[in-house]
């Protein structure tokens, strides 16, 4: 597995060990790119900061909370309305953001008084909200404001409110990942164990590392509820602040994104002995295996199997329709962290896609280990990619589609490669069985977009075909497919609605009477 040298990075030798190509028969013991090291200044890396890792990625999906940043206004403005983590309380956390608006005089004389006024004002503006998370920024960290002390003071004066403090300034660590770690640890240190929950089931879990992008959490919780499992809390998508204070009472921590949230699971194991079970909601097989594992843990495999059977029967023919049409298409799988290993093998196995490259902006070597071992031969793996390397890789690999963020997606568009938003999704949710079909549908629509294909034509140089006045995705995708496939009665296109989440809210579930005495475990 030789290191891959980018031409554009020959002048920065530090980059040499950040990219590898998986060779024949090789595994991660042959070579592994370096990871989670300081960024090279001026390289136009894709990384964000530790503040955004804490506040924007993990803190803000909590739905019933005032999310306040102690600093100048930019940090909070810039991380506001740039994600699609929805909630079932009318998206309070998406709509409102709060900054203490630190000015020059506060930098000189301190801003603790300003912070306290801010907290009181915010609770007054939203009298129904009694919970707050407070985030340090570069400015408030450097002047040394004691945010914890102010929070404690307010909580003493206003006993009805509760405030969480996260000290994760933007400069803390090579990327947003530093912030993930800090907020995980801060939450368990400050808040877990503070609230005693009402236990209503024999089977109680925390669902961890799940951010409810376009409703993923609600899809997954629907399965858990069908199995009679009580989801005590979700860390943090669509999660409730007080539920997350009672995490210590779960029987099991079911972990989705290990990159951003394994820290709290590991701590819950150490401090409360709660086991950690890693699951994966992306893809039919991983989804089924995950439900089976959870079922097995509680001895309710039959309930898991019932869901697996029903969902697979319903959605498999639709997934297969897309698989037939996506086979062999080349993908650059360029997400932020964990999706490179959540998706790499499954999109290959279940959709027939060829992953020609994986990258991670803020992942660690562990993420690359998992990602590379799940990739096919010849895959180019890049750690902390930068603008020019991304372009060089796309020119070299000529992918049919790229899964990445909004801005690099615009770059891909310009070199005529369609993109799907790996962080926020196009038309999600993408978790669960139906979600996975939606993902396949989005990939299909992107690759076979008639408009996108027109961008490949140079009307000044080529003869323009005059017969074709329009094309449909199907006319393009089915051109070379066999009759057997195109006229198959066993396969069908996606049949679901635009919004599949609203109807999950307020749904009723079968009653599984609790067997054991329901009290604190």
Partner 1 sequence: MQCEVKNKERVGVINPILTCQPCGAQYASIGIKECIGIVHGGQGCVMFVRLLFSQHFKESFELASSSLHEDGAVFGATHRVEEAVDVLLMRYPHVKVIPIISTCSTEVIGDDIDGVVLKLNSGLLKEKYAGREVHLIPIHSPSFKGSMVSGYDVAVKDIVSHFAKKDKPNGKINLFTGWVNPGDVTALKHLLTEIQVDATVLFEIESFDSPLMPDGNSVSYGNTTIEDLTETADALGTIALNRYEGGQAAKYLENEFDIPTIIGPTPIGIRNTDIFLQNVKKITGKPIPASLVRERGIALDALTDLTHMFFADKKVAIYGNADLVIGLAEFCLDLEMKPVLLLLGDDNTSYPNDPRIKALQENVSFEMEVIMNADLWELENRIKNEGLELDLILGHSKGRFISIDYNIPMVRVGFPTYDRAGLYRHPVVGYAGATWLGEEIANTLFTDMEYKKNKEWVLNVW
Shortest distance in whole angstroms from residue 270 CB to partner 1: 26
**C-beta of 142 vs 149, nearer to partner 1:** 142
Shortest distance in whole angstroms from residue 122 CB to partner 1: 6
Shortest distance in whole angstroms from residue 486 CB to partner 1: 31
**C-beta of 37 vs 306, nearer to partner 1:** 37
Q: Which residues have CB under 8 Å from 60's CB, separation 6+?
A: 67, 79, 83, 85, 93
**C-beta of 52 vs 308, nearer to partner 1:** 52
Residue 354 near residue 376, CB atoms below 8 Å: yes
**C-beta of 173 vs 286, nearer to partner 1:** 173
Distances (CA, A) of 39 to 90, 176, 501: 38, 12, 39
Shortest distance in whole angstroms from residue 397 CB to partner 1: 14
**C-beta of 403 vs 512, nearer to partner 1:** 403
Shortest distance in whole angstroms from residue 121 CB to partner 1: 5
- CA 26 to chain centroid, in Å, comes to 29
- Residue 494 CA to residue 229 CA, distance in Å, equals 29
Shortest distance in whole angstroms from residue 156 CB to partner 1: 21
**C-beta of 99 vs 213, nearer to partner 1:** 99
Residue 212 structure tokens: 């409810």
DSSP for 146-196 reads -HHHHHHHHHHH-TT-EEEEE---TTSSSSTHHHHHHHHHHHHHHTTTS-P
Shortest distance in whole angstroms from residue 6 CB to partner 1: 10
**C-beta of 37 vs 514, nearer to partner 1:** 37
E strands of 193-229, at which residues?
204-210
**C-beta of 72 vs 435, nearer to partner 1:** 72
CA dihedral 246→250→256→260, nearest 10 degrees, is 40
Angle at 23 between CA 43 and CA 25, to 5 degrees: 145
Shortest distance in whole angstroms from residue 341 CB to partner 1: 23
Q: Which residues of 380-418 are buried (b: 16+ CB within 10 A; e: fewer)?
A: bbbbbbbeebbbbbbeebebbbbbbbeebbebbeeeebb
Residue 365 structure tokens: 């070597």
**C-beta of 406 vs 505, nearer to partner 1:** 406
Shortest distance in whole angstroms from residue 200 CB to partner 1: 33
Q: Before 67, cis peptide (omega within 30)?
A: no
Residue 145 near residue 69, CB atoms below 8 Å: no
- Tell the burial category of 83 from Cβ atoms under 10 Å away from its Cβ (0-12, 13-18, 19+): middle
- Residue 22 CA to residue 377 CA, distance in Å, equals 5
- Residue 244 CA to residue 347 CA, distance in Å, equals 33
**C-beta of 9 vs 253, nearer to partner 1:** 9
Shortest distance in whole angstroms from residue 396 CB to partner 1: 14
Residue 18 near residue 147, CB atoms below 8 Å: no
Shortest distance in whole angstroms from residue 163 CB to partner 1: 15
**C-beta of 7 vs 492, nearer to partner 1:** 7
């Amino acid at each position: 597995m030789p290191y891959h040298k980018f031409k554009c990075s020959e002048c920065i030798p530090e980059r040499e060990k950040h990219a590898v190509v998986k060779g024949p028969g090789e595994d991660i013991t042959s070579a592994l790119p370096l990871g989670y090291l300081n960024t090279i200044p001026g390289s136009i890396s894709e990384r964000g900061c530790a503040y955004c890792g804490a506040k924007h990625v993990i803190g803000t999906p909590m739905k019933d909370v005032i999310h306040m940043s102690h600093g100048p206004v930019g940090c909070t403005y810039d991380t506001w309305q740039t994600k699609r983590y929805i909630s079932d309380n009318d998206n309070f956390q998406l709509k409102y953001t709060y900054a203490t608006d630190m000015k020059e005089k506060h930098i000189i004389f301190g801003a603790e008084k300003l912070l306290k006024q801010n907290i009181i004002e915010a609770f007054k503006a939203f009298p129904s909200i009694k919970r707050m998370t407070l985030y340090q920024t570069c400015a408030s960290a450097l002047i040394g404001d004691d945010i914890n002390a102010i929070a404690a003071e307010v909580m003493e004066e206003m006993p009805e409110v509760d405030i969480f403090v996260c000290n994760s300034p933007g400069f803390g660590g090579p990327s947003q990942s530093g912030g993930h770690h800090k907020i995980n640890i801060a939450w368990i240190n400050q808040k877990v164990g503070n609230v005693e929950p009402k236990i209503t089931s024999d089977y109680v879990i925390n669902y961890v590392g799940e951010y409810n992008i376009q409703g993923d959490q609600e899809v997954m919780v629907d399965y858990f509820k069908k199995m009679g499992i009580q989801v005590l809390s979700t860390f943090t998508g669509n999660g409730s602040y007080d539920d997350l204070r009672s995490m210590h009472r779960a029987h099991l921590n079911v972990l989705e994104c290990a990159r951003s949230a394994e820290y709290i699971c590991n701590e819950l194991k150490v401090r409360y002995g709660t086991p950690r079970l890693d699951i994966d909601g992306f893809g039919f097989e991983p989804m089924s295996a995950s439900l089976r594992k959870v079922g097995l843990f509680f001895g309710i495999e039959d309930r898991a199997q019932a869901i697996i059977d029903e969902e697979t029967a319903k959605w498999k023919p639709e997934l297969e329709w897309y698989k037939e049409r996506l086979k062999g298409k080349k993908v650059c799988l360029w997400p932020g962290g964990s999706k490179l290993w959540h998706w790499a093998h499954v999109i290959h196995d279940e959709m027939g896609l060829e992953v020609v490259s994986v990258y991670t902006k803020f992942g660690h070597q562990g993420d690359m280990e998992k990602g590379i071992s799940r990739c096919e031969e010849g895959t180019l793996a890049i750690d902390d990619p930068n603008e020019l390397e991304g372009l060089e890789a796309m020119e070299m690999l000529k992918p049919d589609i790229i899964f990445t963020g909004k801005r690099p997606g615009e770059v891909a568009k310009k070199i005529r490669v369609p993109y799907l938003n790996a962080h926020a999704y196009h038309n999600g949710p993408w978790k669960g069985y139906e979600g996975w079909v939606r993902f396949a549908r989005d990939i299909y629509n992107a690759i076979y977009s008639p408009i996108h294909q027109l961008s490949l034509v140079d009307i000044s140089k080529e003869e323009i075909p005059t017969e074709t006045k329009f094309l449909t995705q199907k006319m393009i995708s089915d051109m070379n497919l066999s009759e057997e496939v195109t006229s198959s009665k066993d396969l069908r296109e996606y049949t679901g609605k635009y919004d599949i989440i609203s109807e999950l809210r307020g749904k009723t579930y079968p009653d599984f009477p609790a067997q054991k005495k329901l009290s604190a475990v």
